[in-house]
Amino acid sequence: MSQALRDHSFCHFSRRSFRALPMARPVLLCVVLVFSSCHRAPATYLSGLLLPPWYASILRRPCSRPGPPPFDDTWQPSETDLALLNSRLPRLTRLRARCCIKGQRIRDLRHYSLHYLPIVHSGHQLIYIVGSIGGAVDVCDGGGGYWGALNDPATGTFSDLNVNGVP
């Protein structure tokens, strides 16, 4: 019996019983491999959709919450910028909304469609993130199902979470 098989606490077979069940060996080995793979599986990967620059005019003033800060332009993030943003998304759940449902938190990002609009504010590159339950980018009211926040790729920080008004 391999050391890996003996090391798993859910495997309670002695050497004698293991030898007595020759047909069980391949099945048991598969079970061990599956469980060990599941144990090491990475966390759920989150990602968003990069919006084209023409969305900037729509998102300057969302219907039910403050939008991004005033911006002069949009920019094109690299694949590395987007990969870093996606890997840092869980940090966004630490924020509390400043408006319009003050104090609201986004607890599970997997429930939202995420959209990214890279903007240039005072010469600084930021990414405005829109989260929505239904996939729409600008919805009036809608409560906690619709929100916006900022990401600063240079520092990796998130700020300015604003959740839509009461549905």
Of 21-35, 81-95, 130-144, which gets the smallest average pLDDT? 21-35
| Spatial separation of the C-alpha atoms in residues 119 and 50, rounded to whole Å | 12
Strands 157-163 and 124-132: unpaired
Q: Give helix then strand counts, H and E, for the chain.
A: 5, 6
Q: Determine the Cα–Cα distance for residues 28 and 31; give it in Å rounded to an integer.
A: 5
The answer to whether residues 99 and 143 belong to one domain is: yes
The single-letter DSSP state of residue 83 is: H
| Same domain, residue pair 61 and 87 | yes
Alpha-helix residue ranges (DSSP H) falling in 23-166? 24-40, 56-59, 79-88
Cα–Cα distances (Å) from 78 to 55, 130, 141, in that order, read 19, 19, 33
Q: Check whether residue 123 and residue 69 sit in a common domain.
A: yes
In terms of pLDDT, which residue wins out, 151 or 9? Answer: 151
15 and 91 share one domain: no
pLDDT, mean of residues 114-143: 92
Section 103-123 average pLDDT: 94
Looking at the structure of the chain, the number of domains it has is: 2
Q: Is residue 43 predicted with pLDDT exceeding 60? A: no
* DSSP code, position 99: B
Q: Which domain holds residue 12?
A: 3-40
Q: What local confidence, expressed as pLDDT, does residue 167 receive?
A: 54
**149, containing H or E segment:** strand 146-152
- Do residues 120 and 158 both lie within one domain? yes
Same domain membership, residue 91 and residue 34: no
Residue with the bigger pLDDT between 155 and 167: it is 155
- pLDDT above 70: percentage of residues in the chain: 72
pLDDT classification of 151: cutoffs 50, 70, 90? very high
Cα gap 151→154, rounded to integer Å = 9
- Which is higher by pLDDT, 152 or 5? 152
Pairwise CA distance, residues 64 & 6, whole Å: 59
What is the percent of the chain where pLDDT is above 90? 54
Q: Is the dihedral of CA 76, 83, 133, 126 positive or negative?
A: negative
